[in-house]
Amino acid sequence: MPEQSVVAGWIAVDWGTTHLRAWAMQGSTVLAQADSADGMAKLDRDGFEPALMHLVNDWLGCDPTPVLACGMVGARQGWVEAPYHTVPAKPLGAPPIPAPANDPRIAPLIIPGLKQDTPADVMRGEETQIAGFLALNKDWDGILCLPGTHTKWVHVSAGEIVSFQTFMTGELFALLGARSVLRHSLAGDGWDEPAFAAALNETRSRPERLAGLLFSIRAEDLLHNQPAAIARSRLSGLLIGAELAAARAYWLGQQVAVIGSAQTTKPYATALDLQGVPATVADGTRMTLAGLTAAYRSLKGSV
């Protein structure tokens, strides 16, 4: 439930597929925060305003409070579709889109995502994290890696996103671990760093072997009682290794930063370090909030 006894100057919102997070803001200062499981996937179009009001109602005064939201809330199935802006472009180069609201105490605005026409690719939410990273790291040029269900590799130069590529590595890990024959070999806890590194090296150097190496995880369990920690670490290493092979043009010889949660950034930072590429690691939530703050400052001129 939201914290009470605060009146927000504006409200920052990160609205993903499965979760909703909101912060009561005064300038760049966080007064309170709240979250729920009311992600885009479980809401119809009429459900977005009630889900938001459930979290922020106690932060509202009498006058309309600006609500600046990023993420899947602006998808075609979201509150209102915020059309993609085409790269190359600044992360927050397009104006936010107003969302319809019945309660006069809120004035919701949705940050548009970005698209790349050739090769076709899209992002929603990551553009705000990138804007936050650039706001906190002035004049930074290089490659940003944003691991997750759909990992992004993003080339940033002169404050603009030049190009990007998405990899479904996180979703593949989840699907293989929950739906494939490998699920029988992955149950349990633990992590094996040497197994991860060895598997990473196998597919980074020979990505065409991925399909066969995946089944070897099951065979090693059946024939040699391979521990689940090794199986899970090998699956992660094989998938990330194949991703690194495909994304080689992004990270090789580049300055790289990895943005996300500790759980998602650690394997990627380790994988890059094993290739001789030291990466800066940035907290995803902090970058999102910094990006939303940068967007609000842009709207107000200054805060």
* Same domain assignment for residues 103 and 223: no
Q: Assign residue 14 the CATH number of its domain.
A: 3.30.420.300
Which of 104, 122, 140 terminates a domain? The answer is 122
Q: Assign residue 221 the CATH number of its domain.
A: 3.30.420.310
Burial grade of 197 (CB within 10 A; 0-12, 13-18, 19 or more): middle
Which of 86, 103, 122 terminates a domain? The answer is 122
Beta-carbon contacts of 266 under 8 Å, excluding residues fewer than 6 positions away, are none
Which of 59, 94, 122 terminates a domain? The answer is 122
* Same domain assignment for residues 61 and 174: no
* Same domain assignment for residues 140 and 263: yes
Total domains in the fold of the chain: 2
* Same domain assignment for residues 195 and 68: no
* Same domain assignment for residues 115 and 194: no
* Same domain assignment for residues 139 and 8: no
**DSSP-assigned letters across all residues of 83-108:** PPEESSB-TT-SPPEE---SSTTEEE
- Percent of the chain whose pLDDT exceeds 70: 98
* Same domain assignment for residues 75 and 155: no
* Same domain assignment for residues 255 and 200: yes
| pLDDT tens digit sequence for 128-172 | 999 999 999 999 999 999 999 999 999 999 999 999 999 999 999
* Same domain assignment for residues 151 and 55: no
* Same domain assignment for residues 202 and 256: yes
For the chain, give the mean pLDDT: 95
* Same domain assignment for residues 229 and 294: yes
Asked whether residue 42 carries a pLDDT value surpassing 70, the answer given is yes
| pLDDT tens digit sequence for 244-289 | 999 999 999 999 999 999 999 999 999 999 999 999 999 999 999 9
* Same domain assignment for residues 143 and 268: yes
* Domain carrying residue 72: 1-122
**pLDDT at residue 302, as a whole number:** 42
Which H or E run contains 262?
A: helix 262-274
State how far the alpha carbon of 2 is from the alpha carbons of 19, 48, 190, 197, 232, in Å. Answer: 15, 17, 34, 42, 37
pLDDT bucket at 188, cuts 50 / 70 / 90 = confident
Please compute the mean of the pLDDT values over residues 217-225 and round it to a whole number: 97
